[in-house]
Amino acid sequence: MTDPLDQRLRLAIGHFWYTRVTQGLAQGSITGRKDYGQRGEVTGGAQMDGFVEAIAATVREAGIPDAAVYRDHRLELPGFFRPTKEWDLLIVADGQLIACCEFKSQVGSFGNNFNNRTEEAIGTATDLWTAYREGAFGTSPRPWVGWLMLLDRAARSASPVGVKEPHFPVLPEFRDTSYAKRYELLCLKLLHERLYDDTCLLLSDAAIGKTGDCEQPSEEVSFQRFAASLAGHVAGVARMRK
């Protein structure tokens, strides 16, 4: 029998690649102009909706009603360094913040986008936890916070990349690493530094992704662990609500 969580993951992966292809083809059909490069496949949005739905289903099974799961509207939370931040999925029940998740992807432009995603992930967590410390979420207990990345499994993301060291040496774990490995290190460090309660890294490409296949380079940042961690947290909240 197929594991429901594995099936949801396969559906999410397939949805991502199908949406990228269809948006890339459709973009510009009305205006007559197409975005340069792969931008047309990105500006359409909705590519990570399969992951949002997969996690929403897992949360419902853990005992949180669907009415408490926000995934397409009312996604803003107050920040400390900025007024608000829009998340990809929120769980708010009885006036308390239970959990929030970010779902990210990257296909191409690995160099620039890796740095941007890294800064974004760190900044988002820092802003949220500082706002939490300052009482921005009222009487909410510590929420569960998750970050997921789907990375294109390509030659450029799998090949070692050099580093520039004009003044000081980089940390040894970054030497001769690919962007895929750097994302794995990022996920692990975000987890170990407790910026997020769980993180996840998935590798896939259009060839294997259309059938829902992916690679998970580390058990510690796997989708199964990510979903189980969140399910355990919300199950505890559900018991308290009863």
Q: Express each pLDDT in 188-237 by its tens digit.
A: 999 999 999 999 999 999 988 889 999 999 999 999 999 999 999 999 98
Q: How far apart are the first and last CA of the chain?
A: 32
Is residue 122, in this structure, part of any structural domain at all? yes
Mean pLDDT of 22-35: 53
Is residue 18, in this structure, part of any structural domain at all? no
Is residue 171, in this structure, part of any structural domain at all? yes
Q: What is the pLDDT of residue 2?
A: 67
Q: What is the pLDDT of residue 233?
A: 96
d(CA 39, CA 82): 27
d(CA 42, CA 63): 34
Distant-in-sequence, close-in-space partners of 209: CB < 8 Å, separation ≥ 6: 13, 14, 16, 17
For the cut 50, the answer to whether the pLDDT of residue 18 exceeds it is: yes
For the cut 90, the answer to whether the pLDDT of residue 27 exceeds it is: no
Band of pLDDT at residue 1, cut at 50, 70 and 90: low
For the cut 80, the answer to whether the pLDDT of residue 39 exceeds it is: no
For the cut 70, the answer to whether the pLDDT of residue 17 exceeds it is: yes
Strand, helix or coil for residue 153: coil
Band of pLDDT at residue 99, cut at 50, 70 and 90: very high
Could you tell me if residue 164 is left (phi over 0), alpha (psi between -120 and 50 degrees) or otherwise beta? beta
Is residue 94, in this structure, part of any structural domain at all? yes
For the cut 90, the answer to whether the pLDDT of residue 239 exceeds it is: no
| DSSP-assigned beta bridge partners for residue 97 | 92
Is residue 7, in this structure, part of any structural domain at all? no
Residue 146 structural domain: 48-241
Mean pLDDT of 59-63: 93
Least confident residue range of 79-93, 99-113, 146-160, 179-193: 99-113
Band of pLDDT at residue 45, cut at 50, 70 and 90: low
99 to 45, 137, 145, 168: CA distances (angstroms)? 23, 12, 6, 39
Q: What is the pLDDT of residue 57?
A: 94
What's the domain count of the chain? 1
For the cut 80, the answer to whether the pLDDT of residue 5 exceeds it is: yes
Q: What is the pLDDT of residue 110?
A: 81
Is residue 31, in this structure, part of any structural domain at all? no
Is residue 78, in this structure, part of any structural domain at all? yes
Is residue 41, in this structure, part of any structural domain at all? no
Percentage of the chain beyond pLDDT 90 is 75
